[in-house]
Every structure is written in structure tokens, then in C-alpha cells.
């Protein structure tokens, strides 16, 4: 089922970028085989909230995947991976550079076995360079990309996101890179190696900071909830204590906002005609918008903004998201049966295709749930599987 149903993916990655990329492929039908350590399991099983010891992050991150518990540090486990690679289209891995090579599983060796294989390598700093051998995580990418330096209040410390943001961005980028490589393979018949450093994709989402620095010497500063590109843009508190967010990225929206709050005179100012100009008068604009909002309840403010076709949204927490009618209309969340927890609610696929829609078919399985099934597909007999299990190679 799905447009990627003829693609088999080996997910030998952990925490969280590589597995996210594999998850996205699985959402559209790819046969994703998740490789876990037979005794420790995948680290994401122990991250975040859990129910009766069953990790909920795992349930989402490993949805639509078959899980096989194989010890890749053992010679027998390495042989099983070679046999899997021979029958697969994509291998996603995030071992520290040199690990696969030490195990005799280098991309060159795997491509010799299967010249059509795409080896997607996800590491913190890439496969070469002075930091390539160091452990790398999304937090380090958020620090080194400039994100933390430009996030937070002007008089406060650099601020990290409360989530695996850089990993998520890298996961999206890797899914895209894999699809590009698959398209190239369709034309050439050859696989290739993808080298992605988590520190790089996040840079692209932070805007032209290097371009501006090289051209003008500009170093982005922390502006809180304000923007350095346009104004008014901030969070504002209503009379009844709700927080609302406003965006005026479009000039017409900026004009509607200040007109709505009774300051149409500002539109006539020469500086108002560009986002850069409005930023130079951000205090005046914030005072005009903030005082108008502070004198009204949230429901009235939102209704007036919607009537004026100006851009506004309430600041949500998860309780608001759970009951929002727009998310409900989009089908953003689905509830699925789960063999361990009875049922689990997970986020649906990220976008809708009219002809080949994706689908969340099942949640993250229990450890080793599909080991026998996967090894049987490789031609292993029941006796051989039992021997591997007895030796601790699989679970």
C-alpha cells in the first residue's frame, strides 16, 4: 500500500533524525525494518513520557516499522545486515564515523553487494572534518547553527528549544535527500551514499544570516518574540489573560493591523512601507497594538482580526490543540490500536496527497516483534533463528 510500497528501508539509526526520515518513508508505504539492540532496545523507548514502562515517543517514531532485534556488533549480526542490504533499497544509519567500516559494513562494501543501495548516513558533524569523530546531537546543532544565539529575550541567555528541533529538521532533509537519490537511481540504476551533518540543515531555516554577515557584517541579536525583519510581530496579552501572536510579514497585513487598532495614521509614514522600516519603530507599533489588545478579551480580539482579515492566532498548549476544530478537520491526529497499550493517539502524516495518500498503519512495536518474520524472509530456518537467539545475536 502506498507510493513507496516497492521500497525497503533498513533503519539502523537512533535518536532522532535518522529514524524520523525512515518514519516519513514508512508513512507512504515503504517497508521499514527497524534494527534494535536485542537487549537494550532503541534508546527512544526510554525517552519522554511512558505508560506502564512503555515509551510513547517510540510509539510515534517507530510507527509503520517492523522491528528486528539484531546485535550488529556481533559477526553473525553483521552477516544478517549484509543479507538485508542485499535485498533492500535504503540503509539509514547514524553510527559514529568509522563504526560501520570497523564492522566490515562500509558503504563501499555494501554497494559491492548491492550496487542499487542508497546508504543514508546521518551524523552530528558529517563523515569528515575536525569534529567528525565527536558525538553529535541536535542540541549541539542548535547551539552551533546560531539558533540559540538569536533565540530568547535581549537581556536573557541564549535559548535552546524544548524539543528535538534540529533532529526533526535534519530528518525532513534526509527524507528529501533519499527521495532525490531514489529518483537518480531510477535514471541511472546506481545507488549512492548520502552524507548529512545535523549541523547543516538547520542553518537553511535560519535565513540568510551568513549572506548578511558577509555582505554587511550583520550579527543577529536576540529579539524575544519580535522579528528583526518586520513589525509589529510579537505576543500580546488580552484583558482575560490569554496570549495571542500576530504576524505582519505581508505589507497589506501590517496596514490592516494598525488600522484596526486605530492608528491608520501610521500607514502614511514613509518608514511604514517596508518591514525593515517598521522594525525601526517597533516600540511605537508594539505600544499601539499591545494597548488595544490589553483592553479587550481574547474572543473579541480574534473576531475583530478575522473580520479585518489580519493574521492572528492564540498561543496554544496541548490541551488547546486537542480540541481545536481546524486540527480536527484536517485529521491531524489519529487513534490506533496498540498491542501493548490498547490504543495510542499519534500525529498523522504531515501532508495530504490527492492520489497516493500516506497512512499511519500501526504504532511502534514491542522489542523484536518482527525478528522471526524478517529473518525468515532472509531464508533463515526456525532452527537457525533459535540458535541465533540462544547466542544472544537476536531477540
Helix axis angle, 298-307 to 251-260, nearest 10°: 130
Q: What's 116's DSSP letter?
A: T
Q: How far is CA 266 from the centre of its chain?
A: 40
Catalytic positions are 167
Strand partners, 168: none
Spell out the residues 6+ positions from residue 357 whose beta carbon is closer than 8 angstroms to its own: 349
Whole-number Å distance between alpha carbons of 371 and 381? 12
Rounded (5°) CA angle 110-113-115:
85
Residues 6+ apart with CB under 8 A from 113: 82, 85, 86
Q: What is the DSSP letter of 158?
A: -
Contact status, residue 373 vs residue 66, Cβ threshold 8 Å: yes
Amino acid at each position: 500500500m502506498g507510493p513507496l510500497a516497492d521500497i525497503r528501508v533498513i533503519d539502523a539509526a537512533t535518536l532522532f533524525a535518522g529514524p524520523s526520515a525512515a518514519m516519513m518513508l514508512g508513512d507512504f508505504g515503504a517497508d521499514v525494518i527497524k534494527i534494535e539492540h536485542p537487549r537494550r532496545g532503541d534508546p527512544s523507548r526510554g525517552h519522554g513520557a511512558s505508560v506502564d514502562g512503555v515509551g510513547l515517543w517510540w510509539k510515534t517514531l517507530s510507527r509503520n516499522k517492523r522491528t528486528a532485534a539484531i546485535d550488529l556488533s556481533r559477526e553473525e549480526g553483521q552477516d544478517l545486515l549484509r543479507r538485508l542490504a542485499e535485498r533492500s533499497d535504503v540503509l539509514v544509519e547514524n553510527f559514529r564515523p568509522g563504526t560501520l567500516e570497523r564492522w566490515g559494513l562500509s558503504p563501499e562494501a555494501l554497494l559491492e553487494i548491492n550496487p542499487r543501495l542508497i546508504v543514508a548516513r546521518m551524523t552530528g558533524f558529517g563523515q569528515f572534518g575536525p569534529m567528525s569523530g565527536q558525538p553529535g546531537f541536535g542540541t549541539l546543532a542548535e547551539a552551533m547553527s546560531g539558533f540559540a544565539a538569536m533565540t530568547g529575550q535581549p537581556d536573557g541567555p541564549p535559548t535552546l528549544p524544548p524539543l528535538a528541533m534540529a533532529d526533526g529538521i535534519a530528518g525532513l532533509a534526509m527524507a528529501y535527500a533519499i527521495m532525490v537519490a531514489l529518483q537518480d537511481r531510477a535514471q541511472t540504476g546506481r545507488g549512492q551514499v548520502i552524507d548529512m551533518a545535523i549541523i547543516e540543515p538547520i542553518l537553511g531555516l535560519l535565513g540568510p544570516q551568513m549572506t548578511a554577515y558577509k555582505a554587511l557584517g550583520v550579527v543577529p541579536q536576540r529579539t524575544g518574540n519580535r522579528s528583526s525583519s518586520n513589525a509589529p510581530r510579537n505576543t500580546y496579552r488580552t484583558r482575560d489573560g490569554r496570549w495571542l501572536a500576530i504576524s505582519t510579514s505581508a505589507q497589506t497585513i501590517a496596514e490592516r493591523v494598525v488600522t484596526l487598532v486605530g492608528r491608520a495614521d501610521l500607514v502614511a509614514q514613509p518608514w511604514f512601507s517596508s518591514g525593515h522600516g517598521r522594525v525601526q519603530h517597533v516600540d511605537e507599533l508594539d505600544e499601539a497594538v499591545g494597548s488595544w489588545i490589553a483592553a479587550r478579551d481574547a474572543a473579541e480580539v480574534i473576531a475583530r482580526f478575522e473580520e479585518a482579515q489580519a493574521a492572528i492566532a492564540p498561543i496554544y498548549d496541548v490541551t488547546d490543540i486537542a480540541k481545536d476544530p481546524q486540527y480536527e478537520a484536517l485529521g491531524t491526529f489519529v487513534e490506533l490500536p496498540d498491542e501493548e497499550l490498547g490504543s495510542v493517539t499519534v500525529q498523522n502524516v504531515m501532508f495530504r496527497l490527492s492520489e497516493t495518500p500516506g497512512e499511519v498503519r500501526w504504532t511502534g512495536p514491542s522489542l523484536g516483534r518482527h525478528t522471526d518474520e524478517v529473518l525468515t524472509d532472509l531464508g533463515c530456518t526456525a532452527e537457525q533463528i533459535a540458535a541465533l537467539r540462544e547466542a544472544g545475536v537476536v531477540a
